[in-house]
Chain A
């Protein structure tokens, strides 16, 4: 009887403590998503050139779960975000996503045997955190951090920092320079070109 009560209490306590712990585990979320990516990349059924498009399609699904692309775009445009109309913002988010895909998909598809190690998770305020990881390849390590934000209890990535170089900041500097001289519409035109041409 007593034992049972204890057991129940114990379980309830565990559940209670597990809930916030889970919500507060940016690292787990990122790691889970990265593992999904790896399992797609290493899927023996998806070998060869023919399966490339299938792989890409599967990766896109993971990307949408893993990344908060609106947040990423907002932070990239920063104060310039205000210069964009709602429609322009929408288009920017879509175009920027495609620019990133184009830029990084081949690199990502080339990763197969590299080992990925997850290290620390650094809280940065109540709904922000940074998850550190390393890619170990060819005898050298590449540190990669994921900056995540929690919205509706889900952690999503809004910036990736490779070797201490923040992707969002890197593009922000570029867009700032461009938007100092051009209109949002002109920037969108440049991005459309970028996405179209290879």
Chain B
């Protein structure tokens, strides 16, 4: 498993020096991009989550990352809440000096006797960003911060079961057979080619998000991976030496960055978790993907299916693990989707 990433480096040791030269070139064109990348939290390194979230009928990963999250505006800037809100709601634990035992009564080893009010600060996790309004209104307990309306729940749950069966009865067995035929390294290269061709999707979204460093990184990646990565077979740009990781940008995210909320939760058959905003985003992303324009319509569809199959083969076990860990898998997936999309948008808005 871990050997695969090495393989890319080993396969082309000779090209290393060329890459250094390429790196110099990239520094000139996208130098600022490179430098900004070091400082803030890694923006682009959130790969598998979506595969995981939608693992069964997952939306094609890079081509179109599906979307949802509460309005970025409402939550992104509210971190300070930790102190004021908590302090108000709960004079006990959180205001006491950290070292002092009083933190203990309810949190200490015995699970008992927590006093009522002391517990209300509980939900204010770091994420509990957007509940300030509620906190003011009533001293009452606050809901968890990241939620999404789910008026279609009966439909969504039905689709969850449909997708679940689709995965276990059809997609997974096919993907397992496929994985037997092609070694993992080959499948990763196939993924790389798809991802490389979908460059316009990411580039356009970088630009629409007014994130020029991101656009520069993507351009550098496209040049390096197309030329020295042999048409995208190898993702050399992500290599440590070059360190230009893929910028996962999608149109749903772009809409979110510009203040458009997700609306409500939709669990599409085959495509999986989404929202009105992200569905529109997905459609737009597909239109920007050159592979969607391959002439006869069924060719484009087959390509998309092939990509999906390839992705699934690389993520077998992810959905199973998520489902196994959950008490209510439908809610677990919906929540993972909400959290993932929320942070994907927040990462962009935070940097501005």
* Interface residues, chain A, with chain B CB atoms under 8 Å away: 68, 70-71, 73-75, 77-79, 81-82, 86-87, 89-90, 92-93, 99-100, 102-104, 107, 113-115, 119-120, 124-128, 130, 132, 134, 136-143, 147, 150-153, 159, 162-166, 168-178, 190-191, 194
Contact = CB atoms under 8 A, between A and B. Distances in A.
Contacts of A151: 98, 103-104, 107
A79 B331 contact: no
Size range of the interface on B? Answer: 35 or more
B132 interface: no
Contact of A79 (B53, B123, B344): B123
Contacts of A78: 119, 122-123, 141, 144
Contact of B47 (A141, A150, A159, A173): A141
Contacts of B107: 68, 70-71, 74, 151
B110 A138 contact: no
A173 B144 contact: yes
A150 B123 contact: no
Nearest to A150: B98
B119 A82 contact: yes
Interface string B87-99: 0000000100111
Contacts of A152: 99, 101
Contacts of B119: 74, 78-79, 81-82
Given A75-B123, A125-B83, 19 more contacts: A78-B141, A79-B122, A87-B112, A90-B111, A93-B111, A103-B321, A120-B41, A125-B94, A128-B82, A130-B126, A136-B5, A137-B1, A137-B5, A142-B48, A151-B104, A173-B144, A173-B334, A174-B331, A174-B332
Contacts of A114: 1-2
A82 B41 CA distance: 36
Interface of B: 1-5, 8, 41-42, 45-49, 52-53, 82-83, 94, 97-99, 101, 103-104, 106-114, 116, 119-120, 122-123, 125-127, 141-147, 184, 188, 235, 238, 245, 314, 321, 324-328, 331-332, 334-336, 339-340, 342-344
Contacts of A125: 82-83, 94
B130 to A, nearest CB: 13
A92 B112 CA distance: 11
A184 to B, nearest CB: 12
Q: What 9 A-B pairs are tightest by C-beta distance, nearest first? A: A86-B112, A103-B325, A127-B98, A163-B49, A89-B111, A79-B141, A139-B5, A164-B343, A78-B123
